[in-house]
């Protein structure tokens, strides 16, 4: 039984999460040669201050992008 973990920033709609779950389950089932009924997917959502790249949170990155747009 494949178990897949997905970590997403908050803000995705219920429909988006349903679509990605269905697509990932189908892809995993096809690639592994198993029934999609055996595929388990766990979605964990994170706030923009709980996810960072190179020490910069997603919230900081958004603030920097907004400040750059306002400066133009």
Taking only the tens place, the pLDDT of each residue in 24-36 is 999 999 999 999 9
SS3 category, 34 = coil
pLDDT of 50 strictly over 90: yes
- pTM exceeding 0.75: yes
Q: How many domains does the chain have?
A: 1
Question: Residue 67: left if φ>0, alpha if ψ -120 to 50, beta else—which one?
Answer: alpha
Domain containing 50 equals 3-71
pLDDT at 33: 97
pLDDT at 28: 98
Q: Which two tokens stand for residue 10?
A: 């908050």
> Taking the chain, what is the end-to-end CA distance rounded to the nearest angstrom?
52
What's 33's domain CATH number? 3.30.429.10
Q: Quick: pLDDT tens for 51-68.
A: 999 999 999 999 999 998
pLDDT of 72 strictly over 90: no
Whose tokens are 């679509």? That residue is 19
């Amino acid at each position: 039984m494949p178990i897949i973990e997905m970590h997403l920033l908050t803000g995705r709609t219920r429909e988006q999460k349903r679509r990605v779950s269905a697509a990932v389950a189908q892809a995993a089932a096809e690639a592994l040669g198993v029934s999609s009924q055996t595929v388990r997917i766990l979605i964990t959502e994170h706030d923009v201050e709980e996810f960072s790249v190179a020490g910069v949170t997603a919230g900081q990155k958004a603030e920097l992008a907004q400040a750059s747009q306002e400066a133009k």
